[in-house]
Structure 1
Amino acid sequence: MMLLAATSRATRMTIIRQSRALSSQGSDAVEKLRSVLEEYRLQNYAQELPGRFKKDIVRAATNENTDRIAVGGMERVLSNIGATNKISSSEINTIFQELGNGTGEIPINRFSALI
């Protein structure tokens, strides 16, 4: 089980590095977001597969009629799960600015790999 977790983390980090290098602040913010989401998943999705949780988070954060996730969508999800006090808006903005290629939006497939 631990090997699987390490492998998936290594895979995610490779995807992020290939898509665009993150600053140390961006990398820290990504890890914090993952931690917040994982904590919520363990408390509320313990009986579900992690993939189902990811799909639900992505679906909730995605604006209709688009294949991208905007900052506002992710902030809405964090507010809905009661995690706004665990990760700041500036950390979320850092993630979306660095991985969104300046648009402030992240494609769904990149975001799914991120979390």
Structure 2
Amino acid sequence: MILNSSRLLIARVATRPSSMAMGRRAFSDCEPVERIRCVFEEYRREHFSDETPSRFKKHVIKAVQGPEGGEVKIESLNQMLENIGRSDACLSQEDQKLVLKEAGVPDRSIPVATMLQMF
């Protein structure tokens, strides 16, 4: 009985598509998200090379999330870009609308979990 259930579990896991097998990152079709991703990665390599990418991402999101936590206001991304000296990469109003649409949120706040997937 245990052997059969183990086989079923292995079969399900082996045939389930993973994000790595798909070869696409979340939000990879969204140009503004890709642009910000590249800016933050470049900044991490230059100033936080000893940090892992995931740890750096958490630091960035913690810095831009609101006082209540749990969500990131879209405007705070531009503030962060300005703070790191990359105001040239700030999101236009159109870019902001596109990012919010891709995130599937009705207002101007993106949940932290979604931000972690985006960046």
TM range (shorter): 0.7 to 0.9
The question of whether the paired residues in 2 share the 8 Å contact of 1:67 and 1:107 is answered with yes
Looking at structure 1, the residues matched to 23 and 64 of structure 2 have their Cα atoms a distance apart, in angstroms, of 24
Q: Does 1:80 align with 2:83?
A: yes
Runs (5+) with no aligned partner, structure 2: 1-18
Counterpart among 51, 65, 68 of residue 65 in structure 1: 68
Tell me the residue number matched to 2:25: 12
Q: What is the alpha-carbon root mean square deviation over aligned residues?
A: 2.6
Larger radius of gyration: 2
For structure 1, which runs of at least 5 residues remain unmatched after alignment? Answer: 1-5, 18-23
* Higher RCO structure, 1 or 2 (CA under 8 Å, sep 6+): 1
Q: CA deviation at 1:11?
A: 5.8
Partners of 1:89 and 1:62 lie apart in 2 by 20
Q: TM-score, normalised by structure 1?
A: 0.73
Q: Can you list the C-alpha shifts for 1:21-68, whole angstroms capped at 9, x where unaligned?
A: xxx6xx111111111111111111111111221111001110011310
> TM-score, normalized by length of structure 2?
0.70
SS in 2 for 1:12: coil
Q: CA deviation at 1:94?
A: 2.5
Does residue 52 in structure 1 map to residue 55 in structure 2? yes
Taking only the aligned residue pairs, the percentage that are identical comes to 25
